[in-house]
Structure 1
Amino acid sequence: MSYVFIDANDALHRYDTVTQGFNRRWPSPGESAGSIYVCSTPADALAALKDALAKRKRPTIRSGGHCYEGFVSNNPGGAIIDIGLMTGIPTNVTVQLENHSTHTYRFQVLAGNQLWDSYANLYKRTGKTIPGGTCYSVGTGGHIVGGGYGGLSRQHGLVIDWLSGVDILVVDAQGSVRPLHANATQHADLFKLCRGGGGGNVGLITGYYFDDMPVAPQQVATLGLQYPWFLFRNDKTRLGEFLNTYAQFMISADTNPRTYGLFTGLGLTHVTAGGIWIGLQYSDENGGLTDLAPLNDFVNAMSPFGPKLLDTYLPGSGVRLPFVPPRAPLVSGLPAGAQVFDWLYATQSGNGSGNNQRGKYKSSYMKNVFTQTEIDALFQYLTVVNASDPHFAHSLVQIDSYGGAINHVSSTNNGFNPANNQTAVTQRHSILKLQYQTYWTDPADDDKHLSWLRDFYYAVHAQDGYNGTPYPASTTLPNSRYEGCYINYPDVDMLTGKTPGLPGYNWGDLYYPGIYNELVAIKKSYDPLNIFHHAMSLGA
């Protein structure tokens, strides 16, 4: 046994710390796990899972600890298997297949790697990367199995679009642990579930395999724009025009490969924050800055709304960390305020996870521009409700660009064809991805923030959604303008929606449009005892 075992009797007083994740709402009072296994190798993980099952302890799995809900930390009497130290990216790894043949994968990403470590490792050794997220400390273990989306996804697709195989520990009907390797030719159904089905559903993933990965950009241009709230606070029509100019640009960009290197995030903050922001990163089709037209076209489209240049910029938050200097501006034709970075250093600057605090999140995929009902709700809850309460200064809707190589065959996505989609992410027609967020530190403010975000979200989807949610196209809502929600942004409110028991509503259709029942059947086949489960696991 080489894993480290920690429980409440730990002499080094680590227990309280390691039972917590990034979101300080968890564990809920009285819901802490009884013990934690800290694993450094796949062999450790195998031994830990066997030991937990032998002791009849429910296992939950932690990689980076960023689960938005209490699916990992809330495990009273159970055991957290922490694989965050199981790191490394071996290359040219040969795997023995069940038909007695072998397959050599170019890359193996162990599931404990955090995103920044993965980016730095791959880039320095091979010049390649994965098109993953911008929060440096997110673990690949949960990030990839949920789909994997980030600043390079419009250009290179989702991480799972590149995924070639997984190592996973499952538990059979006799309660025995079985190590499996799943890919497109063996356990293909399990492999599909692992390509976007979300963490904690069917087993413990120890490693991801890739036959290839995209080449990282050489250089990127970054730019931060700020729009003070006074420009819109008394002019809802103007705010609607601003939002739909942004959305319309992304609709046009969805089918234009020249734009796929443009990633934008619009931070539609609460009025108490003072200003709306847009952060963007751009490289052209060749990973450089020769073709600047898409970047300038976007800036020109948004310029009528009176932006101020930000002197601090970080993709995803509007703030650039000062310790990584940009390169000297050797590129002519850049819009005012844009800076040129080597890609790795831009990624380092942009890899902010923020403070560990209390938070609540919701999400939606949008296929079109904003409706008047949506604009009315956004305006109401961001400028009127709690308008003088400074505790909402860190509350926002982040509206990220989507589409591009995620939705269409692209030369920069290794030929992946979304029309022949063998992944568990079926949202392949949206042009925007929205994340509703609110943060606070005092548990006494829980109800205030939770109710504000819940009411806000239901109001946005009151007319064109179903049951207060962005329900996807289905028999319930045949012509939906939405594609549901992102499983890596889980939200237990979606279990019932606004009205519990409403006919025709199934939370699983929100996260897995069109394939929920298929994924439930796969989960039951490989996890017949339902060892791996949580409030929003498949079949819950």
Structure 2
Amino acid sequence: MFVLNEFTRRGFLGTAAAVGGTTVVTTALGGAPAAQAAVPEAADGGACGARTALVKVDRVDRRYQDLVTRGFNGRFRGRPDVVYVVHTADQVVDAVNQAMAAGQRIAVRSGGHCFEGFVDDPAVRAVIDMSQMRQVFYDSGKRAFAVEPGATLGETYRALYLDWGVTIPAGVCPQVGVGGHVLGGGYGPLSRRDGVVADHLYAVEVVVVDASGRARKVVATSAADDPNRELWWAHTGGGGGNFGIVTRYWFRTPGATGTDPSQLLPKAPTSTLRHIVTWDWSALTEEAFTRIIDNHGAWHQSNSAAGTPYASMHSVFYLNSRAAGQILLDIQIDGGLDGAEALLNDFVAAVNEGTGVEPAVQRSTEPWLRATLANKFDTGGFDRTKSKGAYLRKPWTAAQAATLYRHLSADSQVWGEVSLYSYGGKVNSVPETATATAQRDSIIKVWMSATWMDPAHDDANLAWIREIYREIFATTGGVPVPDDRTEGTFINYPDVDLVDERWNTSGVPWYTLYYKGNYPRLQKVKARWDPRDVFRHALSVRPPG
């Protein structure tokens, strides 16, 4: 069976989840689970009602295996001495102080979707589990929406939409935790219209450790006169596990005024119009495949400016390996937009123009929240994975398209994919130093992955993804260096190979690939707020010097 790529995990399991309860029309191209309700408004830093005490789970506790095996990537399984299940910021302070007193290296887990083994590192002796901190409410004192890091995206979307009709432009998978997603500058289906989620971050509450080794809470905001502002800035794309432990986010769109909560974040669409377009590998010659790739890139080069009529359109092109049987273009747009159907039809026609191949197209319309919560995540047992990423400022070259075809069309038992996400739009209207999310001039975001079941297949799968990535970026040392064609890669697609000179021969350090010119500024934040380098992992911001 095919590796469960993002589409199969979130839609193909099936297309019924994507189009269930709607009228589905399949043609040839001629031309949620119940989520926790929002809690009542709470005082700053406080809670509504009594909270559960700090829970400390050691290796003999029956809950231990559940807590240490909930990470996304089955290649990594940690064995910490203790897992602290926390419910408040004060409990996080307590847990950190206990771990520090015991000399235990600390890692933090909220949703558990990290692609690398940062939390499951054998050196980590204490894990602070944030999954029980999941409140979502409006904080009138800050005129902003408070979201705790253990809340999932689905819970956050549900609360914001049902209570206030608003949303944040975050990711597509409802089971992903807010905690790490926001820290990396997360993006999703509304990012071309509204920017990345970090563009709407007003404030953070963070537990930091000072030079004496004691933990404390700090609130940092985007206000120009906030003495802690740089700590806020570092959390707008600086990545997780770097500066401290976020215990609360506050969201408000820059420039939003007044006290009406329904006017302080972007309005959610009323419905989602979706087209799922598939081309069978059996019908794709190299010429047809290359034409599709060229058309797709050219369209994005012409339709990725802020304010484009396609601003609310999000697409993911799953270039699956031949073993999958097909490549798939998953497109959605605000169903309430005038001419939405025609816009999607025109996009599909533009991508397919001149190929001589007629793809199958499934069309559906659903209410926005139902469609958003339907993208449920399921690895189907394919829980061993390796990921890599890139930002494209320009379409693929002819040589890169040929490399894609050669690797993806090969008769191989490796189940891999190269996913191309529509990008740009409002994202690119923000200066690259305004937030820690530095990539502000790209039209396509790339995620490459291989996913498998059996540990015996580790070597073959790792070799496949490493080779395709290195060959695609062969002219720049095997990695997408920031230049006129590419803009580095995404910190929420962490890849420890970028530190390895066997796979990164560019001479460009890993941190420039992730942060471009923002890295020295992040180092200054690190020096001030984590002077003992308590929060660290293989790709963490290094102390200066």
Distance 1:402 1:292 in 2: 20
Distance 1:499 1:453 in 2: 11
Corresponding position: 1:156 with 2:203: no
Query: What is the Cα deviation at residue 36 of structure 1?
Result: 0.4
Query: What is the Cα deviation at residue 156 of structure 1?
Result: 0.9
Q: Which residue number in structure 2 is paired with residue 486 of structure 1?
A: 490
Q: Which residue number in structure 1 is paired with residue 241 of structure 2?
A: 200
Corresponding position: 1:536 with 2:539: yes
Corresponding position: 1:398 with 2:419: yes
Distance 2:375 2:539 in 1: 30
Q: Which residue number in structure 2 is paired with residue 69 of structure 1?
A: 116
2:93–2:216 Cα contact (<8 Å) kept: no
2:86–2:92 Cα contact (<8 Å) kept: yes
Aligned pairs for 1:206-217 (under 5 A) are 206-211=247-252, 212-217=264-269
Distance 2:174 2:378 in 1: 6
Distance 1:77 1:535 in 2: 12
Q: Which residue number in structure 1 is paired with residue 232 of structure 2?
A: 191
Query: What is the Cα deviation at residue 32 of structure 1?
Result: 1.9
Distance 1:362 1:132 in 2: 20
Residues 503, 160 of structure 1: alpha-carbon distance in 2 compared, 3 angstrom cutoff: closer
Q: Which residue number in structure 1 is paired with residue 458 of structure 2?
A: 446
Query: What is the Cα deviation at residue 296 of structure 1?
Result: 2.5
Q: Which residue number in structure 2 is paired with residue 308 of structure 1?
A: 359
Distance 2:75 2:107 in 1: 17
Query: What is the Cα deviation at residue 348 of structure 1?
Result: 1.7
1:367–1:430 Cα contact (<8 Å) kept: yes
Q: Which residue number in structure 2 is paired with residue 361 of structure 1?
A: 387
Distance 1:469 1:379 in 2: 19
Distance 2:132 2:121 in 1: 21
**Aligned counterpart for 1:19 among listed residues 46, 68, 71:** 68
Query: What is the Cα deviation at residue 351 of structure 1?
Result: 3.7
Distance 2:113 2:82 in 1: 19
Aligned pairs for 1:91-170 (under 5 A) are 91-94=138-141, 104-170=142-208
2:89–2:207 Cα contact (<8 Å) kept: no
Q: Which residue number in structure 2 is paired with residue 329 of structure 1?
A: none
Aligned pairs for 1:466-481 (under 5 A) are 467-473=477-483, 480-481=484-485
Distance 1:536 1:26 in 2: 16
**Aligned counterpart for 2:276 among listed residues 224, 231, 234:** 224
Q: Mark the runs of 5 or more structure 1 residues left unpaired by the alignment.
A: 95-103, 311-336, 409-417, 474-479
2:526–2:541 Cα contact (<8 Å) kept: yes
Amino acid at match of 2:128: I
**Aligned counterpart for 2:499 among listed residues 495, 499, 511:** 495
Distance 2:512 2:156 in 1: 32
Aligned pairs for 1:391-430 (under 5 A) are 392-393=414-415, 395-408=416-429, 418-419=430-431, 421-430=433-442
Q: Which residue number in structure 2 is paired with residue 519 of structure 1?
A: 522
Distance 1:77 1:273 in 2: 37
Query: What is the Cα deviation at residue 74 of structure 1?
Result: 1.4
Amino acid at match of 2:138: T
Corresponding position: 1:382 with 2:408: yes
Query: RMSD over aligned Cα, in angstroms?
Result: 1.8
Residues 539, 268 of structure 1: alpha-carbon distance in 2 compared, 3 angstrom cutoff: same
Q: Which residue number in structure 2 is paired with residue 298 of structure 1?
A: 347
2:172–2:188 Cα contact (<8 Å) kept: yes
1:142–1:198 Cα contact (<8 Å) kept: yes
Q: Which residue number in structure 1 is paired with residue 296 of structure 2?
A: 246
**Aligned counterpart for 1:504 among listed residues 500, 504, 507:** 507
Which range moves more in the overlay, 354-363 or 158-167? 354-363
Residues 375-412 of structure 1, C-alpha deviations (whole Å, 9 max, x = no match): 1211121112xx142xx23x10111100011112xxxx
Query: What is the Cα deviation at residue 504 of structure 1?
Result: 3.4
Query: What is the Cα deviation at residue 68 of structure 1?
Result: 0.5
2:470–2:503 Cα contact (<8 Å) kept: no
Amino acid at match of 1:112: G
Amino acid at match of 1:7: D
Query: What is the Cα deviation at residue 237 of structure 1?
Result: 2.8
* TM-score, length of structure 2 as denominator length: 0.83
* TM-score, length of structure 1 as denominator length: 0.84
Find the residue that maps to 1:168 and give its secondary structure: strand
Amino acid at match of 2:374: S
Distance 2:302 2:266 in 1: 24
Query: What is the Cα deviation at residue 43 of structure 1?
Result: 2.4
Query: What is the Cα deviation at residue 438 of structure 1?
Result: 0.7
Query: What is the Cα deviation at residue 75 of structure 1?
Result: 4.0
Find the residue that maps to 1:151 and give its secondary structure: coil
Query: What is the Cα deviation at residue 279 of structure 1?
Result: 0.5
Residues 210-245 of structure 1, C-alpha deviations (whole Å, 9 max, x = no match): 22321100012011010001222xx32321211111
Distance 1:175 1:78 in 2: 17
1:219–1:288 Cα contact (<8 Å) kept: no
Q: Which residue number in structure 2 is paired with residue 455 of structure 1?
A: 467
Find the residue that maps to 1:513 and give its secondary structure: helix
1:63–1:112 Cα contact (<8 Å) kept: yes
2:195–2:426 Cα contact (<8 Å) kept: yes
Query: What is the Cα deviation at residue 33 of structure 1?
Result: 1.5
2:497–2:503 Cα contact (<8 Å) kept: no
Query: What is the Cα deviation at residue 50 of structure 1?
Result: 1.7
Which range moves more in the overlay, 292-301 or 435-444? 292-301
Corresponding position: 1:344 with 2:365: no
1:283–1:289 Cα contact (<8 Å) kept: no
Find the residue that maps to 1:338 and give its secondary structure: strand
Q: Mark the runs of 5 or more structure 2 residues left unpaired by the alignment.
A: 1-51, 253-263
1:5–1:37 Cα contact (<8 Å) kept: yes
Residues 249, 497 of structure 1: alpha-carbon distance in 2 compared, 3 angstrom cutoff: farther
Amino acid at match of 2:65: D
Q: Which residue number in structure 1 is paired with residue 324 of structure 2?
A: 273
Query: What is the Cα deviation at residue 511 of structure 1?
Result: 0.2
Find the residue that maps to 1:259 and give its secondary structure: coil
Find the residue that maps to 2:275 and give its secondary structure: strand
Query: What is the Cα deviation at residue 290 of structure 1?
Result: 4.8
Distance 1:228 1:80 in 2: 45
Distance 1:157 1:537 in 2: 25
Number of paired residues? 473
Q: Which residue number in structure 1 is paired with residue 104 of structure 2?
A: 57
Q: Which residue number in structure 2 is paired with residue 414 of structure 1?
A: none
Query: What is the Cα deviation at residue 444 of structure 1?
Result: 1.1
Query: Percent same amino acid among aligned pairs?
Result: 34
1:218–1:288 Cα contact (<8 Å) kept: no
2:183–2:237 Cα contact (<8 Å) kept: yes
Amino acid at match of 1:398: S
1:116–1:351 Cα contact (<8 Å) kept: no
Query: What is the Cα deviation at residue 250 of structure 1?
Result: 1.2
Residues 319-374 of structure 1, C-alpha deviations (whole Å, 9 max, x = no match): xxxxxxxxxxxxxxxxxx42111101111222435346111000000011111221
1:64–1:114 Cα contact (<8 Å) kept: yes
Find the residue that maps to 1:257 and give its secondary structure: coil
1:219–1:289 Cα contact (<8 Å) kept: no
Query: What is the Cα deviation at residue 307 of structure 1?
Result: 4.2
Which range moves more in the overlay, 512-521 or 346-355? 346-355
1:468–1:498 Cα contact (<8 Å) kept: no
